[in-house]
Structure 1
């Protein structure tokens, strides 16, 4: 065995790991769309977090953009149950991690490790009777109709629909009676996490976000800066 070759391979691997860590750390603090400002009287969008995971919460129906999220759901029982609700939350994530969390359990070590590699995903959909209460774990933004339509497009495209374009249920129930899991597009891995999905959706819609945000605190930091910019104006 060529010891020099093996040594070069190890050094190359270490350099790649260091470069990845630098990307994650610096990307987390570098803002994109720094000039974004909230739209007075705009459409309310909430970014919520449980400390580990982030969701986007949007109006269940929005008249200016003619958006009705229940129209995408084939299940008539769901449509009837949530017809009077006001908001809906969307989160994208690892299928195994989500399903292993039933009953309030933290996923097993093996499930967490497998999530580091490309794996199947789900969309978590949670219905809200009223807007989220803003505070430590929820930030409210007001965006323009054009920005909101971009968010709608990104969220819609994250689902894996049936032949009729409707969202496909993965399970008959989620963690509570008000949330569900649907089939999703894309593969989850260490560089494409649930929080990176939220961050990417904000960034692609022209809303301030991080260059890279694998963790929830980074997502929340950037959206809080939007609020601070509003106060400072």
Structure 2
């Protein structure tokens, strides 16, 4: 009886210690926002973007015209080329991820744990790609079942997001490098900058772009897509329809 009570107390202490360590790590790695950029001042112009989060991945849904304009203002030549390539669509959904896993696992049903573990734990990380999709439908219709978080950014915040996004494209002779057809709809893969690993997953990339736009983010929580959606809703005043 006493031994069982001691084991229960020890287990409770270990769980409490683990929870405290996770909270401390989350606090230490949190990246503050920029109040000069976000939230936008009341009554000022805004640009609406959306985080699209499914079971294992997140991306950003961005208005194409605003993105093309911001890319031109930021001098992001690669992004200008991409917005022209998808000029027929009012919005672009853009995500970043491991080159092998991203292209081989379009849905959760197709999940290959060997590919997933290789992507997460290869020393030094693995090559990355960007996935760009032209979207004409309303967000909820285009991404059924996804958690969609709507964010209203200031024009300057959106310009900085566009500049950061432009730097994510790998270049060849100054142009973005197409890396094959995409997974669904009118879409393409592009070679990307950065290395994918457990410490830098697709959701960290999405969070990094939003942080560039002035939003506070918590990378530890943002490791999972639903965690990123919760982080935005909790810390950044985001709203989800």
Give the TM-score taking structure 1 as reference length: 0.74
Deviation at 1:208, TM superposition (A): 2.8
Among residues 169, 173, 187, which one is paired with 1:179 in the alignment? 187
Aligned residue number for residue 161 of structure 2: 151
Mark the CA change 1:94 to 1:140 in structure 2 (over 3 Å): closer, same or farther: same
* Alignment partner of 2:196 out of 178, 188, 192: 188
1:127 deviation in Å? 1.1
Residue number in structure 1 paired with 2:177: 168
Q: Is the helix fraction higher in 1 or 2?
A: 2
How many Å separate the matches in 2 of 1:50 and 1:188?
19
Q: What whole-Å deviation, never above 9, does each CA across 1:171-230 have from its counterpart, x for those lacking one?
A: 1x1112312111001111111111111112212321132243211112101222367578
In structure 2, relative to structure 1, the CA distance for the partners of 1:209 and 1:147 (3 Å cut) is: same
User: For the residues of structure 2 that align with 1:216 and 1:210, how far apart are their CA atoms?
Assistant: 12
Other structure's SS at 2:175 match: coil
Give the one of 139, 150, 166 matched to 1:132. 139
Contact 1:47-1:138 within 8 A present in 2 as well: yes
Point out where structure 1 has 5 or more consecutive residues left out of the alignment: 1-17
1:201 aligns with: 209
Give me the CA root mean square deviation: 3.4
Instruction: Determine the C-alpha separation between the residues in 1 that align with 2:88 and 2:177.
Output: 22
The two structures have a TM-score, normalised by structure 2, of 0.71
**In 2, distance between residues paired with 1:31 and 1:90?**
22
The verdict on how the C-alpha distance between 1:38 and 1:103 changes in structure 2, with shifts beyond 3 A counting, is: same
Aligned to 1:49: 53
In structure 2, relative to structure 1, the CA distance for the partners of 1:25 and 1:54 (3 Å cut) is farther
Task: Return closer, same or farther for 1:217/1:66 CA change in 2, 3 Å cut-off.
Answer: closer
Query: In the aligned structure 2, how far is the partner of 1:63 from the partner of 1:101?
Result: 28
Is 1:89 the counterpart of 2:90? The answer is no
On the 8 A contact 1:92/1:124 being kept in 2, the answer is yes
Alignment correspondent of 2:39: 37
The answer as to 2:124 corresponding to 1:120 is: no
Residues matched between the structures, number: 205
Between 1:90-99 and 1:126-135, the stretch displaced more is 126-135
